[in-house]
A and B are shown apart, each in its own frame.
Chain A
Amino acid sequence: MKNNSLLESILNYQLWLTLALTKIRVRFIRTALGPIWEILGTSIFLVFISFIWSKLWGDTFFDFFCYLYSGFIIWKAISSIIGDGTYLFSDTYSNYFENISINPFIFCMSHTAKNFIVLLMNFPILIIILIINDSFYLISVLWMLIYFILFLITGVSTSFILATFCLKFRDLQFSIIVLLQLIFFMTPVIWKIDQLSGNAQRFIIEPNLLYHYIELFRTIALSGEINMKSLIIVSITTLLLTITSLIIYKKFNKKLIFWIA
């Protein structure tokens, strides 16, 4: 068994990719449409929401649909990384810990890869609506690649930190899920930032790190431009989360198995 060191685990892409694809495949097993449900479900939901919301807020349907689609798919990926990440070690992969000697980062990479693949599955629809809306820019591809790197690193380190702490303090798992539901309504995913007054923007939106991850993705997708403020915040957050996860790994790696048992 040679899955122990951190570097070997990162390089062992075959294993974490297999774990990720297995989870996706098993989720849709015995269905006729398979993973197409992922795209279909999101699209149908967002078409209906956009129809109602655009009427409520006097926006055009298509503009609002583009805004909502780009924000919602990234929110879904982020919330799934955080939400499912809370029980990654205590439930999803606990059997693996007890049966093989394996680096826990493998599971975090698999978890992030799974959510990233699901995000990518929604991309064809996003690209189609951007082309129809005449707002598809080639430069977006370059910015998007940079965003993806930051997103993946954040995903791995966040899920490791959450999975470790939620394994030790099981109440945290439920608190985070409640908090995540609240944050959804406090983050401009299904509403627009300009609907808030100046002070509310400063106190509700700016400190919300998830907003910056969503805003960065949305500006790249919709305008081909980059929101520098969000890019800086996202980069610093990614760096801090990575350092934190490595410190936690070094300190608690050997204790994880005892927290599971």
Chain B
Amino acid sequence: MIKIEVKNLVLKYPIKNLNNYLFRAKVINKIKKIFYKDKDIETDKKEKNIKEIKALNNINFTINSNDRLGLIGFNGSGKSTLLRCLSNILPIEQGSISIEGADYLPIIQPYAMCEPDDSLYNNIFLIAQLFGFKKNKIKKQINEILEFAELTEYKDRSLSTLSTGMKFKFVFSISFVLEGKKIFFIDEFFTTGDEKFQNKGFDFIKKKNDQIIVMCSHSRKIIEKFCNKILILDKGEQIYFGDALEGLDRYKHQIKN
């Protein structure tokens, strides 16, 4: 039985003003303090004092096998941050995250980890190993990955020559064709592929039993099509968690307001 349980999750994130690093800016501020005592400097001071923000505050939810949770919210609401917390990339400040029953795979910005000049074939080995798969397993399934991605004839070409849609197919196939992972954290991923491959991908995932998918997207269409549960976030706060259709209705009202 696979289960993800998040209780009272809080994440504080340090905010840095890049000017504060500069020696030049520090000197100018000191000089300003000597000559002027106006509001601007007070504002600067206030800004300097804000060292961290609550990127996520009091998040609570439980999902089980075969649940597909959609994270939705405006820009900066904390969707990707929540995915990073679930993936153990960001250490949480308070609360707890418990993942039971299976190994997880974060698909956040997978292209950022690729070597664009290297061949597709070598990149499969690189990314799959970074995802935690062993070389033997990759070797056994590499043809299957290429076939599913419809990229067999491109295997010796450099990754940079592929279109964005092809790169989506490439990462999708590595993540889902290779067997072993049952929990997937996906960030804004399905929006790049063509509809035909999207449907092929959705069908492929839906056929597999006993897995959990948490995905964030701005596309209500994708969430509606794919998820059975939804979590709405706003400025790091949990607004709603529950049935997908009901949640999407709520989100629609939120957008109008």
Q: Which residues of A contact B (CB under 8 A)?
A: 1-4, 14-15, 18-19, 22, 25-26, 29-30, 95-102, 170, 254, 257-258, 261
Q: Could you say which residues of chain B place their CB within 8 Å of the CB of A30?
A: 117
List the A side residues contacting B28 at CB < 8 Å. Answer: none
A-B contact pairs, 29 of them (CB 8 A): A1-B104, A1-B106, A2-B103, A4-B88, A14-B134, A15-B130, A18-B125, A18-B135, A22-B122, A22-B126, A25-B122, A26-B115, A26-B117, A29-B117, A30-B117, A95-B112, A96-B113, A97-B89, A98-B84, A98-B108, A98-B112, A99-B106, A99-B110, A99-B112, A99-B113, A100-B108, A100-B130, A100-B131, A257-B89
For the complex, what is the distance from the CA of A102 to the CA of B118, rounded to whole Å?
Answer: 22
Within 8 Å of chain A (Cβ to Cβ): is B2?
A: no
Q: State whether A19 and B126 are in contact (beta carbons under 8 Å apart), knowing that A2-B132, A96-B113 are contacts in the complex.
A: yes
The answer to whether residues A25 and B118 also contact, given A1-B88, A18-B126, A254-B91 and a CB cut-off of 8 A, is: yes
The answer to whether A98 touches B135 (Cβ under 8 A) is: no
Q: Mark B60-97, 1 if CB is under 8 A from A, else 0.
A: 00000000000000000000000010011111000000
User: What distance in Å separates the Cβ of B110 from its nearest Cβ neighbour in chain A?
Assistant: 7
Q: Which residue of B lies closest to A2 (CB)?
A: B132
Instruction: Give min CB distance, B180 to chain A, whole Å.
Output: 11
A1 to B87, Cβ gap below 8 A? yes
CA distance A26 to B129 in the complex (A): 17
Nearest CB on A from B231, distance (A): 21
B21 at the interface (CB under 8 A from A): yes
Interface string of B169-194 (1 = CB under 8 A from A): 00000000000000000000000000
A29 and B118 in contact (CB under 8 A), knowing A1-B103, A100-B130? yes
Chain A neighbourhood of B113, CB < 8 A:
95-96, 99-100
Residue of B nearest to A1 (CB): B132
In whole angstroms, what is the CA distance A102 to B117 when docked? 23
A68, B117: Cα distance in complex, Å: 35
Q: Are A26 and B118 in contact (CB under 8 A)?
A: yes
Cα of A96 to Cα of B126 in the assembled complex, Å: 12
Q: In angstroms, how far is the closest chain A Cβ from the Cβ of B131?
A: 7
Q: Which B residues are CB-close (under 8 A) to A3?
A: 132
Residues of A close to B129: CB separation below 8 A: 14-15, 18
Q: List residues 122-141 of chain B with CB under 8 A from any CB of chain A.
A: 122, 125-126, 129-132, 134-135
Closest residue of chain B to A106 (Cβ to Cβ) is B130
Which 6 A-B pairs have CB atoms at the shortest separation, nearest pair first? A101-B88, A95-B112, A254-B91, A99-B108, A15-B129, A1-B132
Given contacts A1-B131, A15-B129, A18-B126, contact A257 B118 (CB under 8 A): no
* Given A14-B135, A101-B89, A258:B14 Cβ within 8 A: yes
Contact flags B16-28 to A (C-beta < 8 A → 1, else 0): 0000010000000
A19 to B127 CA separation, bound complex (whole angstroms) = 10
Per the bound structure, the CA–CA distance linking A1 and B90 in Å amounts to: 14
CA distance A2 to B180 in the complex (A): 12
Cβ of B102 to closest chain A Cβ, rounded Å: 12
Give B22-41 interface residues, CB cut-off 8 Å to A: none
Whether B109 pairs with A99 at a CB distance below 8 angstroms is yes
Measured CA separation A30–B125 after assembly (Å):
20
Closest to A21 in B: B122
CA distance A22 to B129 in the complex (A): 12
Complex-state Cα separation, A98 to B118, whole angstroms: 21
List chain B residues, Cβ under 8 A from A19: 126
Chain A residues lying within 8 Å of B9, measured Cβ to Cβ, are: none
Closest to B118 in A: A26
The smallest C-beta distance from B50 to any residue of chain A, in angstroms, reads 15
B13 within 8 A of A: yes
Q: In the complex, which of the residues A26, A30, A101 has the most CB atoms of chain B within 10 Å of its own CB atom?
A: A101
CA distance A257 to B91 in the complex (A): 9
Could you tell me the distance in whole angstroms from the C-beta of B186 to the nearest C-beta in chain A? 12
- The smallest beta-carbon distance between B212 and chain A, in angstroms, is 15
B residues near A254, Cβ cutoff 8 Å: 91
In the bound complex, residues from chain A placing their C-beta under 8 Å from that of B13 are 258, 261
Residue numbers in A under 8 Å from B151 (CB-CB)? none
Chain A residues, CB < 8 A from B103: 1-2
